[in-house]
Every structure is written in structure tokens, then in C-alpha cells.
Structure 1
């Protein structure tokens, strides 16, 4: 096939794959996919790419021949595995989809490709040679035109967030796959969980769309519901059981973290330090501290003895802690806000941070009363 047809096929393959996995393609990624679709022709020294890299194309063509090594499934898989840990998800998707589109398109020509190289079998699509396309023929021209026309609605569907989501993920509805996608792409967008499930205690139906607060345990989610935060997974350990779950990417946002490591403070001082961050966006507390008399609030606040663990807890939980002394704070404060907005540092007011323990406060009040009557 000609280079223009491969350019169109590379973009179409990238957009179709993006739609299937729920990735919103960008214009630079589409250009990259088109360029990657030309790379397999490195094994042809007179081709568009071969002329740019003659030092590589000539030995490849001489040693292996055209439509062999660089057009094989082996190279496509090797490229995908090699680039997976090195590149952002969208760029990786563009390179792999664009590259793989080339040998698939070349299978539609009479000669086919050695897809299973080093085996010498020539793979073709379709099996009947009368329906394969010859280079520069009317068949290739019509194929390129149809492919280009189909790309436009596919692009619109792939970019239609949050309504479209991932076609494959929606068909499977596996919460493990939803969590894997969320873990791979979290941090730059708001997320929503499209859930079909039931309450583990009452068995009531809880299906609906819920904002994702964060991850929960190994393969679940912490979501925001009208009744407060709720844990969702596929076991009885969570508040809700997920029969089907799809993670859907929504509008862009930025995530900024600040850290609190202090030996002591008070709920009032901590709340005051978080006011500016709360004004910027959704703010959560993650980590641990030591305090007495704190009541657990599942699933975000758990208590074991005097140790309090916070898992994406809202700063509002501090209001119920009264004047208790908070000690040994190791907290991460996460705020999700509009992109490009600077987030201030956290400054604890140590003048109000020290708290008299509740156990001795009545004795101090009694001492003051006696002193006044002397």
C-alpha cells in the first residue's frame, strides 16, 4: 500500500483503539500514530522511511527482505512491551496502534506479509485474492476514503467524555479492570464510577454513577455517595458489592499534595491550616495520628487503640473531635483543583496547636476556681 493510505490507517487504528479502551485521543497523538504507521517500511530502502534511514533500511532489506521482520507480530509485541514502562499511556497507545496498523493493512494486498516471522508463511486478508487491493488501484483509493470518513465519527465518540467511556471495559464491567485503568491514568482528571451493584448488608440495589474519591484496598474504590463515602469491591469486605463497574474519565484537574509531620496539634489548628486548600478544591487527609476517644467513621476513619488511620478522610471529620490532643501526625493532604492554580503551603499555628488533655482539664478549672476564692 501507499504511504498516504498507511497514514490514514494508522490514525484510524489509534482512534478505534482509544475508543475501545476509553482513552481521549489528542491531535499530537494522532499525528504520532500516523508517523508510526510508516515505520515498518524501514525494510524497504526505496520507501519513504527507508530513504530517510538508508544505513538501516539497506541491511534490513538485504538480510530479511520486505514485509518480513519489521512487519511481524513478534516486533509489534516487542515494541509494545519495551515502550510500556517508558512512555505515557496516550503516546504508547499511538505508537503501538499506528505501527501495528501497517502490517494489518498490507495483509489486504495480494502479496500479504510474513506476520508470523520467522515462519515463512504469508498472511493475507481476505482469503479470496479477488478482493485484495493492489497498490495505486481503485480498491486502495476507495479503502482509504472510507477509512478516512469513518475516522471522523470515531474521533467524536472517543473524545465524548464522560458519556462514552471504554467500550471494552463497559462490555466486561470488571472492577479489577476499572481499577487498573484508574491506577494507570489517575491524577490529571476527575473520575466517575458507573456501578451496578448492591449493599452488602441490606442487599439493596445501589446502581448508579458515583464520583471516585480514591482507591480502596487492592482492587476496589472509595466513592462519594449521598450518604457519605462508601467502599466498593467484589468481596464482602466492602460496604457495597460491585456486579459491574466501569471507571469513566471526566474533566481535567490537577492534584497537589502537602505533608504534615508534627508531634502535636489540635483539631482546631489543623482545620484552620486546611481552610485555604479547601477553598481551592476537594481536600482529603491520608495517613495516621495518635489521639484518645476518636470514634471510627468507616470507611475513611479507622481506630485501633489510640492510633487513628485516615483514608481519604474529609477535613470535616475534625469537627467531631472537639478539643482532643492530636499527637504524632504523619499526614498527606491531597487537594484536587483546577489546573495551573498554585496551592499554598500548610502552616500550623503552634500557638493554638497545643491542647490540654481532656483528662486534666477539669482539675485545672477546679484549681482556677479555688484560686479565685482565696
Structure 2
């Protein structure tokens, strides 16, 4: 099989299985697809590693040990073993393992086949009829190349727009699809919801983009970027936006962290002021016990999500913006536990 075929097959496999359009990961996967042919001195891998190629060529037949499950296991152990000490290497380790495996597996469709279960010398081929298998440089292989190019371009296009899950979510336009996108990418990226529906208060139409802050009931607490107002978008009775259709897009990189804070007869502002950081949206959830709290000072907007619910003796917070908490509760003495959700933008 031609080197370009290995590059396309392995690069496309890495893109599809990792659901990525990252050119580095795709390139790693593609190049890894050439490595099994290190057992031939005339191959690209053989020319780069002539001493390794010379050893394999003298001691083993072509497409034997380097084209086997054993070889893939060795590559996986070596790459993921490195990732144990360098966690950032995990995506590259995955691309390397996927690319290498698909690189030799593609040769099952050639006339010579591969010794997939090495050290067994039995050759695995597909299909069984030798005349239907690919011959290197044949018209049939070039036809397959054209198909691979189309698949590769489609995979890159899909993954550059958020991956297969995002595209499926767009198709079904339901909260379950959005939940799947949020679960898979919400910890590393901002998730933007495209919502069509009506406002529960006045039944006015809603058709716009909102940033998802966190799930709530059957829907989500969302932030309107232009106004910085929070809403619950769902089909629940307490929703401010009643959803008719909803899809989600994976937006810019942003790391979401959740930290616990315990307040023990302490000024609330002092306990949470450390979370007031630049390029960070911070939301506070939890329950506090207070004494003689004046509830009349709290903001009241019937069209917005009620993120602070208070009585003279207790305060319940849910996705309350940090700045609002600092403004209205910052000087209060309280006891209780809080969870602070920080969404840190990297762009």
C-alpha cells in the first residue's frame, strides 16, 4: 500500500476516533501510520530508522511483527507510559496508538496480508479472494485514495464544528443532545446553546445564543452574553425560557473548576473574595445560615432566574454571580457550605 494511503487512513482514523480537528494530533496519527513499514528499508520509516529497518529486514518477513497486535500493544504501553509522567501527552499517545494500529491494519486488504497475531505466522487477509485485494499502486488503490480524501475532508469539517456528537445534537435539537455535548466538552470549553422558545413571563419569542452555566432540572441555567442575565431554559414550570428547540456548539476553550468553601460564623465576602479573578466567570451555589437578614436589599427580577432565595435566617444560592453575592451578601456573617464554579477563559 502506498505511503499516502497509510497517511490518509491513519490521519482520518485519529480525527474520527478522537473527534478532533487539531492538526498536530491528525499529523501524529498520520505519521504513525507509516511506522509499521519500518521492517522495509525502502519505506519512509525504514529510511528514517535504517538501523531498526535493517534488523527487521534481516530477521523477519515483511508485515510480520511490526504489523501485529503485539506491536500496537508495545506502542500503546510506551506512549501511555510516557503520558503517566506527562499528562499533556495523553492526546498524542492516543493519536500515536490509533495511527499505528490503523497503519498496519490497512495492509490486511493487500494481497500479502499481515501477521496480525504474531508470533503466529498465519496471515490475516480481507477479502478471502486474492484478486479482490488491493495491489500497491493499482487503479483500485487510487480509487480508494479518492474515497479516503473525501472521508478525511468530511471528518475534518465535522470535528472542526464540534464533532459528531454536536452535529447529532443539531439534528435532534433536544436537551438530551445538549446534555451530551455539555458532558463531553463542558469542562474544557464554553458551551453555547442556540435556543428557540418563549419567555415564560410575557410569552415573547426567544431566538438567540446563551452560554450554558450548569444543568438544572430538565434544562440548563444559561447566561445571556449581552445583558449578563441568568435564565433557566427548560420545559419545567419554574423556567424563565420555555424551550421549543435547543442545540449546542462547543465554543472557545475555557476551564471549569468547582471548589468547596466552608463558612463558619464568618464574613461571606472574606470567604469568597479570593475567587474574584480576571477573565473568569464565577458562580456560587450553597446554603448559608444567617441572623436577621434583611431580604428587601436583594435584587428582584421576575423575568430572571432566582439565584438568591433568602429568609431572615437562611440564604440559598444557586449559580449566583460572584459579584452579586459580594455586593449584597459580602458583609454578612454566616455559616454553611458553598460550591464555587469558576469558568476561566483561555482566550
The DSSP-based 3-state class of the residue aligned with 1:134 is coil
Residues 174 and 109 (structure 1), Cα distance of their counterparts in 2 relative to 1, 3 Å cut: farther
The DSSP-based 3-state class of the residue aligned with 2:134 is coil
Q: Which residue of 1 aligns with 2:10?
A: 10
Report the Cα offset of residue 211 of structure 1. 1.3
The DSSP-based 3-state class of the residue aligned with 2:316 is strand
Runs of 5+ unmatched residues, structure 1: 54-60, 76-85, 116-120, 341-374
1:331 aligns with 2:327: no
Q: Which residue of 2 aligns with 1:282?
A: 281
Q: Which residue of 2 aligns with 1:251?
A: 252
Residues 223 and 29 (structure 1), Cα distance of their counterparts in 2 relative to 1, 3 Å cut: same
Runs of 5+ unmatched residues, structure 2: 54-60, 74-83, 117-123
Cα deviation, 1:286-321, whole Å, max 9, x if unaligned, reads 222123454687442345783322222113434774
Assess if the C-alpha contact under 8 Å between 1:277 and 1:335 holds in 2. Answer: no
Q: Which residue of 1 aligns with 2:56?
A: none
Aligned length in residues: 321
1:176 aligns with 2:172: no
Q: TM-score, normalised by structure 1?
A: 0.58
Cα deviation, 1:115-149, whole Å, max 9, x if unaligned, reads 9xxxxx9865xx99987632342332453366357
Looking at structure 1, the residues matched to 94 and 196 of structure 2 have their Cα atoms a distance apart, in angstroms, of: 29
Q: Which residue of 1 aligns with 2:78?
A: none
Residues 201 and 109 (structure 1), Cα distance of their counterparts in 2 relative to 1, 3 Å cut: farther
Report the Cα offset of residue 236 of structure 1. 4.6
Q: Which residue of 2 aligns with 1:263?
A: 264
Looking at structure 1, the residues matched to 104 and 201 of structure 2 have their Cα atoms a distance apart, in angstroms, of: 53
Assess if the C-alpha contact under 8 Å between 2:109 and 2:126 holds in 1. Answer: no
Report the Cα offset of residue 328 of structure 1. 0.5
Cα deviation, 1:36-81, whole Å, max 9, x if unaligned, reads 6579999x999989x979xxxxxxx9xx9999988xxxx9xxxxxx
Report the Cα offset of residue 253 of structure 1. 3.0
Q: Which residue of 2 aligns with 1:216?
A: 216
Residues 234 and 40 (structure 1), Cα distance of their counterparts in 2 relative to 1, 3 Å cut: farther
Assess if the C-alpha contact under 8 Å between 2:294 and 2:312 holds in 1. Answer: no
Looking at structure 1, the residues matched to 94 and 235 of structure 2 have their Cα atoms a distance apart, in angstroms, of: 29
Q: Which residue of 2 aligns with 1:359?
A: none
Q: Which residue of 2 aligns with 1:137?
A: 138
User: What is the CA RMSD across the aligned residues, in angstroms?
Assistant: 5.5
Assess if the C-alpha contact under 8 Å between 1:289 and 1:326 holds in 2. Answer: no
Q: TM-score, normalised by structure 2?
A: 0.62
